[in-house]
Amino acid sequence: MAIQLEPSSVEKDKTDKFVRGRGTTNKVGSRYLATTKEKVNDGWDMEEDLPPLATTVTVEHPLTIISRNQSPDIPFDASINPYRGCEHGCIYCYARPTHAYMDLSPGIDFETRLFAKPDAAKLLRAEISKRNYQCTPIAFGSNTDPYQPIEREWQITRQLLEVLHETSHPLTIVTKSSLVERDLDILTEMARNNLVQVFISITTFDNELARKMEPRATAPRRRLQTIACLKQAGIPVGVMFAPIIPVLNDSEIEAVLTQAAEAGAITAGYVMLRLPHEVKLLFREWLQTHYPLKAGHVMNRIMDIRSGKDNDPQFMSRMRGTGIYAAIIDQRFRKICERLGLNRSRIQLDTTRFQRPGKQKSQMELF
């Protein structure tokens, strides 16, 4: 039954149980819709089986594939997202609200109703062929994971790498999936020419927490093996501890960075938990479901670093937080990096090798 509510209302269509392999079952509505839905008791008092939470993939045909960034606190100018939505189902994902642009739920739709861009490689080739194109490292994984499970079938990330390899175009990758090892043949050759760096995201070594927090991502210990595999292949690899969630995983900073460095990581970074738009509702619900005794403590800490709010969208402070707790986290992170020799130098990828995709010269171009 549709009920007219304020635009800021959310769709309260969820179950009391969380489904294994999914981050949430809440179908929180798009904030752009003027109407919402709410389950009501129809008087029958009969249990009804919910439909299975199967993953569906819709083909999307964008006009361009390279996204441009102007945010001063993000270390790249260009990025590519082969997919919309992410099957990993990470409850904390700051990209969840982007599904609202499609009038879909940033909750369960984000991890079950995905969009693939099979024309991505063709679009990339066309964009970097333009005469006014300026080569700058392209970031993969800035929004959703380029190696999420559906990549095994669609191989869009693989096709994009082939274009960048062919043209000697530099790139960076952030992923929490061991599927990146599939593309070692391309990445190893690019690494020889200083054209690629890979970052593996590890948020915890607690398997129980990982299964609840990022249910379809590669197991944390397996990600350490991926770091070692990339290192052995000669690919510069870093570790991302992101996000740091007060009370839940902040105690693991030193352990994660230490074992990542032992596996072969040479750089490290972190991001404080961000709760933009619908994510704050989903995260609070997730806490109450899985960690009810810690929920209040977690949210109090978050509000301490966000000036009394759930979220701080301001540049610079949104990534690190403010206040005493945020300063302590930053100090701990810097000290362990110094002790381990991480971040001693910043890798500068080579943009001078880039060659536009080859075309037959026209008759006039010969003169």
207-255 residue pLDDT tens: 999 999 999 999 999 999 999 999 999 999 999 999 999 999 999 999 9
Tokens representing 132?
A: 């006014």
What would the mean pLDDT of 7-16 be, rounded to a whole number? 40
- Which residues pair with residue 56 across a beta bridge? 113
- In angstroms, the CA 110 to CA 155 distance is 20
d(CA 70, CA 317): 16
The token pair that represents 74 in the structure block: 């993000």
- Identify the CATH number of the domain in which residue 119 sits: 3.80.30.30
Domain with 313 in it: 2-37+54-61+70-141+151-344
Please, how many CA atoms are within 13 Å of residue 49, restricted to the half-sphere of its CB? 3
State pLDDT tens for residues 349-365. 999 999 999 754 444 44
Return the higher-pLDDT residue of 34 and 1. Answer: 34
**What angle is formed at CA 312 by the lines to CA 307 and CA 318, rounded to 5 degrees?**
110
DSSP string, 89-101: --TT-TTGGGGGG
* Domain presence at residue 350: no
146 within domain boundaries: no
* Structural domains counted in the chain: 1
Is 116 among the domain residues?
yes
On the question of pLDDT at 148 being above 60, the answer is yes
Decide if 42 is inside a domain: no
**Would 364 be classed as within a structural domain?**
no
185 within domain boundaries: yes
Distance CA 295, CA 325 (A): 17
Q: What is the pLDDT of residue 29?
A: 62
Structural domain includes residue 367: no
| DSSP percent split of the chain into helix, strand, coil, nearest 5 | 35, 15, 50
213 belongs to a structural domain = yes
Question: Model confidence over 23-72: pLDDT tens digits?
Answer: 665 666 655 554 444 554 444 454 545 455 789 999 999 999 999 988 88
